[in-house]
Amino acid sequence: MIPYGRQDITQADIDAVVSVLESDFLTQGPVVPRFEETVAAHVGAKHALAVNSATSALHIACIALGVGAGDLLWTSPITFVASANCGLYCGAEVDFVDIDSSTYNLCPKALEAKLLSAEKAGRLPKVVVAVHLCGQPCDMASIHALGQRFGFKIIEDASHAIGGKYRNEFIGNCRYSDITVLSFHPVKIITTAEGGMALTNNDALAARMALLRSHGITRDVSLMTHDSDGPWYYQQVDLGFNYRMTELQAALGVSQMQRLDTYVARRHELAKQYDTFLKDLPLVTPWQHPDSYSGLHLYVIRLQLEQVGKTHREIFEALRAQGIGVNLHYIPVHTQPYYEQMGFKKGDFPAAEQYYAEAISLPMYQTLPDAQQDEVVDALKKVLIG
Ligand SMILES: *Cc1c(COP(=O)(O)O)cnc(C)c1O
């Protein structure tokens, strides 16, 4: 089976991890800060906090932004559940904004319309989570302008997007957001096995997230309520978690970062080839906004089912049967049973549901050989046009 995504582990990665195993620190040593500095410098953010997953990063980002009971968090229905769950962790309510039918990202026009009615109802969101689906950045300038006008904070969920750019600047520099979150799960662009990161240019947010990552405990006397009792002393000044990244993970991350640009370039090469090979088939290839240089975590096609005498599911299963590990990103979050019990139902976000009825993620990862990409294309041709 050709998978839809997979990690690339080199001898340099293995050596980096082994050298940590032979060192004094497996956790809370020098390599996590080195990884943070490496990513922050690459993307152009002031602060980077490495954590054990993007889910954890989203959680502490929400707390740092003051999300709590009675608040609202809005995001796109076409995302991984974690982009929405972070609001629920904080006791907030979650709602969704439908997608733009060409980028599949949260639609700024739908956002504006929803904000106007929310303003009338006195129920404006505290935070909007903008998800850069497939690695293509959202229309951040518009979302940011709406944030200024309606007073909400912005988290970019860039789990798909490290190495991508928006208006010629790296995603992660937080020019249009308060916090940007990255994921280093093995299917993503670079990996630390499990891992995530929160990026911000705001000193106070960075300090709060640093506390939340490790139990709310500090050894910094300036944050304590009284002078230190002695060299052993620490204080718990907030209610935090154990969301720390290990030194092993960070070493893998530093090593993977050396190849980020070549990874993204190879993904672009593959995407261009797919665009060419698939252009006469009854499907829509991913449209890219001119402001965008995608990280290209995913390559999603949309089937033009009225031109094919088969269902979405039949096509998906036929591809799997031919050894093509296609996938579907994502099931609209509002149709998950956990969200349906909050009152969401099918029909609430029609553009997202239409997308879900047609979308298929094709294999897309840096080490996918051209010959295997050809197999994917041949299988698609066979299934769609016989
Ligand atoms: C993968 C992913 C996450 C969660 O990442 P983890 O590191 O596995 O917690 C969150 N949001 C999106 C959009 C993702 O794709």
Instruction: Check which CATH number belongs to the domain holding 17 and give it.
Output: 3.40.640.10
To test the ligand 1 pocket, which listed residue (73, 75, 80, 243) has its Cβ within 8 A of the most ligand atoms?
80
pTM, rounded to two decimals:
0.98
Question: Does one domain contain both 107 and 167?
Answer: yes
In which band, very low, low, confident or very high, does the pLDDT at 356 lie, cut at 50, 70 and 90? very high
Rounded CA separation 258/189 (Å): 12
Sign of the Cα pseudo-torsion (118, 119, 124, 129, in order):
positive
Element spanning 16, H or E: helix 11-21
pLDDT of residue 56: 99
Ligand 1 contacts CB of residue 364 (under 6 A): no
| pLDDT value at 188 more than 90 | yes
Ligand 1 pocket, residue 76 CB under 6 Å: no
Do 210 and 306 share a domain, yes or no?
no
255: closest CA among 18, 48, 57?
A: 18
Structural domain for 98, as ranges: 11-257
Q: What is the pLDDT of residues 82-131, one digit of tens each?
A: 999 999 999 999 999 999 999 999 999 999 999 999 999 999 999 999 99
83 lines ligand 1 (CB under 6 A): yes
Same domain, yes or no, for 247 and 266?
no
Calculate what percentage of the chain has a pLDDT beyond 90.
Answer: 100
- Per-residue model confidence (pLDDT) at position 323: 97
The arithmetic mean of pLDDT across residues 167-171, rounded, is 98
Helix boundaries (H) for 137-287: 140-150, 203-213, 247-257, 260-277
The answer on 359 and 312 residing in a single domain is yes
Torsion angle, alpha carbons of 186, 239, 95, 48, to 10: -40
Confidence (pLDDT) at 386: 85
d(CA 67, CA 91): 8
Q: Are 103 and 245 contained in the same domain?
A: yes
d(CA 265, CA 4): 18
Is residue 156 within 8 Å of residue 174, measured between CB atoms?
yes
Does 212 map to a domain? yes
Angle at 341 between CA 67 and CA 146, to 5 degrees: 40
Judgement on whether residues 253 and 302 belong to the same structural domain of the protein: no
Closest listed residue to residue 66, CA positions, set 133, 138, 127: 127
Q: Do residues 93 and 73 touch, judged by C-beta distance below 8 A?
A: yes
Residue nearest atom 5 of ligand 1, based on CA coordinates: 54
pLDDT digits (tens, 9 = 90+) for 56-90: 999 999 999 999 999 999 999 999 999 999 999 99
Q: In this structure, are residues 198 and 57 in contact, taking their beta carbons and an 8 Å threshold?
A: yes
Euclidean distance between CA atoms 110 and 386, whole angstroms: 39
Structure tokens at 349: 């976000």
Question: Which atom of ligand 1 is least distant from the CA of 83?
Answer: 11
Domain presence at residue 4: no
**Domain match, 225 and 335 both:** no
- Same domain for 161 and 185, yes or no, is yes
Q: Which of 46, 153, 188, 272 is catalytic?
A: 188
Of 229, 257, 285, which residue sits at a domain end? 257
What is the average pLDDT value for the chain, to the nearest integer? Answer: 98
Number of domains in the chain: 2
Q: Are residues 231 and 135 in the same domain?
A: yes
Q: Under 8 Å CB-to-CB from 295, ≥6 apart: which residues?
A: 132, 135, 158, 160, 161, 162, 163, 164, 171, 189, 264, 267
Least Cα distance to 159 among 188, 118, 199, 117 occurs for: 188
Q: What is the CA radius of gyration of the chain?
A: 22
Annotate 220-261 with DSSP letters as a single string.
-GGGSSS--SSTT--EE-S---B-BPBHHHHHHHHHHHTTHH
- Is the residue at 329 inside a domain? yes
Q: What is the mean pLDDT of residues 21-26?
A: 98
* pLDDT tens sequence across 36-56: 999 999 999 999 999 999 999
Which among 49, 51, 52, 55 is the best mutation to test ligand 1's pocket, defined by most ligand atoms within 8 Å of the CB? 55
Question: In angstroms, how far is CA 184 from the centroid of its own chain?
Answer: 9
381 is catalytic: no
